[in-house]
Structures are given as structure tokens and as C-alpha cells.
Amino acid sequence: MTKFLLSLHVLAAIIAVGPVTVAASMFPPSARKALAEPDSERAVSAVRLLHRICRVYGGVGIAVPVLGFATALSMGVLKDAWLIVSMLLTALAAMVLLALVLPRQEEILEGLGGTAVGTGAAAGTGTGTDAGPAATARLAMFTGVFNLLWATVTVLMIVRPGSTTGA
């Protein structure tokens, strides 16, 4: 059962977290392009799609820690320091995504004159959102933090300090 849970956990991480990290990284440069070409519906549509990918796969990503917890429980490693650190970093990555990345993507979308997917807020209504180069730079920074957290978790999952597997 442990191997099955571990397989599901790894697959969920690849399928859910991978698209979020890539789409979130592509969002700032795509937003800058859309800002530079305000009449390009294609550029704005690309930004909307990247935001939708981040939202949907971010939601699906809840399966990763759930399956990870089940795997850790079956392996008897819930009290290992590397796993506790990994769980904390995973929670921090989720907070960065939910509190810093997704809301700023929505603000930029509103500033582009599109409707931020899932917010119901019509853009271009004079809400005073910041959608300039500074906003995309801040978003790129938060996205980098999010990706760095996931990279650290991945390394911890592979290296597992104190592991007795010999890996």
C-alpha cells in the first residue's frame, strides 16, 4: 500500500504542482507583453489562461499534501524532521500562492481590462488596480519564492536527511 500511496503522491505533485509553477512563471512576462500590446486580445487571453491554470491546478494540488500525509503515515515517518520541514514549507508555499500570487494575478488581469477569472469583478471599472511593470516585477518575485519553496520540498523528499534507505 505504501508504494501505491507514494506513487499517487508523486504523480499528484507532477500533475498538479508542475503546471502551477510553470504557468505562474509564465504569467509576469505574458502580462508585460499584454500591457505593451493593450489592443491584443490574444495577449490578454494568454494571461487569462495562465491565471486559470494556476487557480485550477492550485486547487487540485491539495491532493499532494493529503497523499503525502497518507504516505508518511504508512511509512511511519511522520515525526521525522525532514518531513515536518517539508510539510511546513508546503503550507508556506500554499499561503504564498493563495495570498500573494493569485490575488496579484487577478489585479493585473483587472488592470488589463479583462475580468479576473473567478472574481466576478469587471476590470476597467476604475478600481485603481496596479497593472504596470512594477506589479509584474513584484508578482515575478512572489512566484519565484513559491517555486523556490517547492524546489526545496522536492529536494527534501529526495534527500531525506537521516533516512535509513541509503539513498
pLDDT of residue 43: 95
Q: Which 3 state secondary structure label does DSSP give 10? A: helix
20-65 tens-digit pLDDT: 999 999 999 999 999 999 889 999 999 999 999 999 999 999 999 9
Among 158, 17, 167, 5, smallest CA distance to 72 is for: 5
Percentage of the chain surpassing pLDDT 90? 76
pLDDT of residue 167: 47
pLDDT of residue 56: 97
DSSP label at residue 126: S
Taking all residues of the chain, what is their mean pLDDT, rounded to a whole number? Answer: 88
84-117 tens-digit pLDDT: 999 999 999 999 999 999 999 999 999 987 555 4
For residue 136, pLDDT over 90 is answered with: yes
